[in-house]
Chain A
Amino acid sequence: MTAPFELTDDSVVVVIGTGAGGGVLANELAQKGVSVVALEAGGRYLPEDYVNDEWESFGQLAWLDKRTTSGDWRVARDFSGLPAWIVKAVGGTTTHWAGASLRFQPHEFKTKTTYGNVQGANLLDWPIDLAEMEPWYEKAEAKLGVTRTGDRAGLPGNNNFKVLEAGAKALGYKEVHTGRMAINSADYDDRLACQQTGFCFQGCKWGAKWSAAYTDIPRGEATGNLEVRERAHVLKIEHDASGKVTGVLYADKDGNQHLQNARIVCVAGNSIESPRLLLNSASAMFPDGLANSSGQVGRNYMRHMTGSVYAVFDKPVRMWRGTTMAGIVQDEARHDPSRGFVGGYELETLALGLPFMAAFLDPGGWGREFTTALDSYENMAGMWIVGEDMPQETNRITLNHDALDQYGLPAPNVHFDDHPNDVAMRAHAYRQGIAIYEAVGATRTFPTPPYPSTHNLGTNRMSENPRDGVVNRWGQTHDIANLFVSDGSQFTTGAAENPTLTIVALAIRQADHIAGQMSQGTL
C-alpha cells in the first residue's frame, strides 16, 4: 500500500535514498505517524529478481552513473570510472552488503583523544559515545536479526571459515568465530534461515540476509505514511530566503523534472552522492553549497583501509559455498600503537566467484603468474581486511565540471590518497593474513589490492563544533535546521568495523529525534 502525497504537500519529510540510512529512517518515521516521501534513484528489485551471476547482477544493481577518480589509490588506476561498488536500487546497498554487523569499540568514538595528533590526519572525536549508542545498537541488532547478539545463535562455519579458523587459532588468535551477521541462523522476523547459497553480494534470494528492500521499505509503505518513488533522481535541494530548505528537485524515470515540497529534508545518498548533492545545490545565498559554512562538505572521505588475502592450498576449499562473510578474526581490531599504527582492523572471510576473482585478484595482471593462481581457484581460501583509515581533508568528493552526468550535472570526483597509517596497517594485515594461511599449509598467497569502495564514509561529518564538521549529534546540519544527513557520510571517523549497523542505529535514533522535534513543533 502506498500513500501518494502531492508534490505541493509541504508537510512531508523527504528522504533522499532508501538504503541502510534512508530506508530505515523512512520506515521508522512512518511507524511513528510521520508522512514521508522517499526518493530513490534506482528501481525496485526483490529476491525473486536477484541474479546469482556476478556480472549480470552487477549490471542489474550497481550504481554506474558517471564518476571520476584521482589520487594515489590503485582503484583510480584500475577502475578509474568506478570508485565505489554500491547499489542503485530501492534498499540501496543493503541488497549488496555482506551482513557483517559489529558495534564500534568505545575508543573509536574518541579517536582524537585516544590517538592524539596524527600528522596529516583530520581526526576528531564524535560528539556521541558508545554508552549513548548502546540502546540504539540494541534496536538495530534486533531489527537486523544480528547473530550472536540477543539470543540469536551464530551461523555455521563454511569451508572458507574452517580454513580461516584453523589458521587463526594456530597463530594464537582468540576472537575467532562466524561473525555477528545480519543473516538469519534460524528463521527470524518473517525471514528464512540462511541456506548457505553464496552470492550474498548479489542480493539474498532467500531473504535470509536483512535488506531494507524487503523489510523496512514495505513495512513503512504498509503504514500508509510512506511513499517511495523509485527511479526518482534528486538533482537539487531548494531553500527559501530565510535559508530553510523547502523541497527537492528530482528527475523521474523519463527525465521529467518535479519539485517535491518538504517540511524537512534528509539526505541519505551515501558518502559520494550526499555531499555531491549539497555541493550541486549551491545558490546565491550558499555559494559553496548547502550546509557548508565549515568547508567540510565532501572532505574527510574515508573508505576503510582494505585489502584481501587469498591463498592456495594443495586440497580443495571451495570457498564460494555458503555465507560469504560469516567468519571473523577480531584480535587485531584493538588500538595498539606498538604495531606501528593507530586503530585496528578486522579479518573477515570473503569469497569471489571465478568471474570476479579474474577481475579483482590482480587488476591488470596477465600471464602465467596470474593464470596459475586461477588454475587453483577450487583450492583457494580468502579473507577481507577492513580497518580504520585516517580522515584527511584532501581526500574528498568534489564536483567535476568537465564530466557531466546524464542530467548535465557535474559528476563527483573521488580523490583518495592513502595515509601513511593506512599503508602501515595494510602491510601489517597482509603479513598476518598470509601467516594465518601459511599456518595451515598454504602453498601460495596473494596480498590482493583494495576493490572499489564498498564502505564510503565521512564526507558530511558529525562534530560538536560547527566549525569542524557538517552535522551535529543528531545528523542535523549545523547551518540549516530542517536539513539532515542520514547515511554514513555523517561518520566523524570510520572505526574498524563494517559500517552498516552503525548507520542503521544512527537512523533509528535520528527518526526518534526528528519525530520528537516535529511533535514539539521545533522542526
Chain B
Amino acid sequence: MTLKQKGISRRQLLAGSVAAGAAFVVGAGFVAAPTAAWAMEVSHLQPATMATLIQMARDIYPHDHVADEYYAAAVKGYDTAEAAPGIEAGITALDAAARGKGHPSYLGTGWERDRVDILRGMEESAFFQAIRGGLVTGLYNQKAVWPLFGYEGESYSKGGYIDRGFNDINWI
C-alpha cells in the first residue's frame, strides 16, 4: 500500500519513524521505505521484526530488480496473532546470530554476504525453512511480480500465442 493510499505524507512518516537498517524505517505500527514509496501496517508483529523479516526475505531470494514492497507482500501473512510469536522468536534468534558474528543486529549487518553467512548458519532450522518455503509461493506467485521477470501468465483470454509470437525468436 502506498502512503498516498494510507493518507500519510512523507513528512509525517519520517517524523514518526526511525531508521531500521538502510532499507526501512519503522514507526508505531508500520514499516515503510525511506523513500516513502510504500508502507505496511503491522498489527501483531513488532514493526522492527517485520522490517527484519522483509530483509531476510530479500536475502533468501535476492532479485535486484524487484522492489521491497513485493517482499513485504510475500511475508505480510505472518502478521497474525497465531504466527507472530514464532516469527518474533525466529527473528530474535536471527539477531542473536548476527550479534554472535560481531554485528549489531541482522538489519545492522551491512553486507549481503555477511547476512547470507548468518542465514547459512541457521539454514536447517524450522524457522528458516518455513520462511524460505513460504516465499516460494509468497514471492513468485504474486501476479504483480511476474512481469518483472518477463513472464506473461495466462494467454487464453488473448487467444493464445498462435498469432502473438509463439515462434517469434529469430536469433537461433
Contact A198 B161 (CB under 8 A): yes
With A370-B61, A440-B172 given, is the CB distance from A378 to B161 under 8 Å? no
With A166-B172, A196-B162 given, is the CB distance from A320 to B151 under 8 Å? yes
Contacts of B165 in A (CB 8 A): 318, 321
Contact B62 A195 (CB under 8 A): no
Any chain B CB within 8 A of the CB of A218? no
Contacts of A163 in B (CB 8 A): 169, 172
Query: In chain A, what residue has the closest Cβ to B146?
Result: A354
Contact A316 B155 (CB under 8 A): no
> What separation, in Å, do the CA atoms of A191 and B3 have in the docked complex?
51
> What separation, in Å, do the CA atoms of A455 and B140 have in the docked complex?
27
Contacts of A158 in B (CB 8 A): 161, 166-167
Q: Which residues in B have some Cβ–Cβ distance to A below 8 Å?
A: 60-63, 65, 116, 132, 136-137, 139-141, 145-146, 149-156, 159-162, 164-169, 171-172
> What separation, in Å, do the CA atoms of A166 and B152 have in the docked complex?
25
Best-surrounded residue of B61, B145, B160, B171 (most CB of chain A within 10 A): B160
With A55-B141, A196-B161, A371-B61 given, is the CB distance from A159 to B168 under 8 Å? yes
A153 to chain B, nearest CB (A): 15
Contact B156 A316 (CB under 8 A): no
Contact A377 B167 (CB under 8 A): no
> What separation, in Å, do the CA atoms of A54 and B60 have in the docked complex?
23
> What separation, in Å, do the CA atoms of A105 and B56 have in the docked complex?
52
Q: Which residues in A have some Cβ–Cβ distance to B below 8 Å?
A: 52-55, 156-159, 161-163, 166, 194-199, 205-206, 315-318, 320-322, 353-355, 357-359, 364, 366-368, 370-371, 374-375, 377-378, 440
Q: Which of A159, A199, A358, A366 contacts B167 (CB 8 A)?
A: A159
B68 to chain A, nearest CB (A): 15
With A158-B167, A162-B167, A195-B160 given, is the CB distance from A358 to B140 under 8 Å? yes
Contact A322 B151 (CB under 8 A): no
Contacts of B154 in A (CB 8 A): 52-53, 199
Contact A316 B150 (CB under 8 A): yes
9 tightest A-B CB contacts, nearest first? A378-B150, A197-B160, A195-B160, A322-B166, A52-B154, A358-B140, A196-B166, A354-B151, A196-B162
Contacts of A54 in B (CB 8 A): 141
A517 to chain B, nearest CB (A): 45
Subset of 13 A-B contacts with CB under 8 Å: A52-B154, A158-B167, A159-B166, A162-B169, A195-B159, A198-B155, A199-B155, A317-B169, A318-B165, A321-B155, A322-B167, A354-B140, A374-B140
With A198-B155, A375-B63, A377-B150 given, is the CB distance from A355 to B137 under 8 Å? yes
Contacts of A371 in B (CB 8 A): 61-63
With A354-B146, A378-B149 given, is the CB distance from A315 to B167 under 8 Å? no
Contact A52 B172 (CB under 8 A): no
Query: In chain B, what residue has the closest Cβ to A198?
Result: B155
Contacts of A199 in B (CB 8 A): 154-156
A67 to chain B, nearest CB (A): 18
With A162-B172, A196-B161, A366-B132 given, is the CB distance from A53 to B153 under 8 Å? yes
Query: In chain B, what residue has the closest Cβ to A202?
Result: B154
Contacts of A205 in B (CB 8 A): 156
Query: In chain B, what residue has the closest Cβ to A208?
Result: B160
Best-surrounded residue of A317, A321, A359, A370 (most CB of chain B within 10 A): A321
Contact A375 B149 (CB under 8 A): yes
Best-surrounded residue of B60, B149, B168 (most CB of chain A within 10 A): B149
Contacts of B167 in A (CB 8 A): 156-159, 161-162, 322
Q: Which of A157, A317, A321 contacts B161 (CB 8 A)?
A: A321
Contacts of A55 in B (CB 8 A): 137, 141
Q: Given A55-B137, A196-B162, A197-B156, 11 more contacts at CB 8 Å? A: A156-B166, A162-B172, A194-B162, A195-B162, A206-B156, A318-B168, A321-B152, A354-B149, A354-B151, A366-B60, A375-B65
B122 to chain A, nearest CB (A): 12
> What separation, in Å, do the CA atoms of A364 and B132 have in the docked complex?
8
> What separation, in Å, do the CA atoms of A321 and B168 have in the docked complex?
10
> What separation, in Å, do the CA atoms of A378 and B152 have in the docked complex?
10
Q: Which of B151, B161, B166 contacts A353 (CB 8 A)?
A: B151
Query: In chain B, what residue has the closest Cβ to A156?
Result: B167
With A52-B155, A320-B152 given, is the CB distance from A315 to B169 under 8 Å? yes
B141 to chain A, nearest CB (A): 5
Q: Which of B62, B139, B149 contacts A368 (CB 8 A)?
A: B62
Contact B60 A358 (CB under 8 A): no
A491 to chain B, nearest CB (A): 33
Query: In chain B, what residue has the closest Cβ to A193?
Result: B162
B146 to chain A, nearest CB (A): 6
A202 to chain B, nearest CB (A): 9
> What separation, in Å, do the CA atoms of A53 and B145 have in the docked complex?
14
Contact B155 A374 (CB under 8 A): no
> What separation, in Å, do the CA atoms of A315 and B63 have in the docked complex?
19
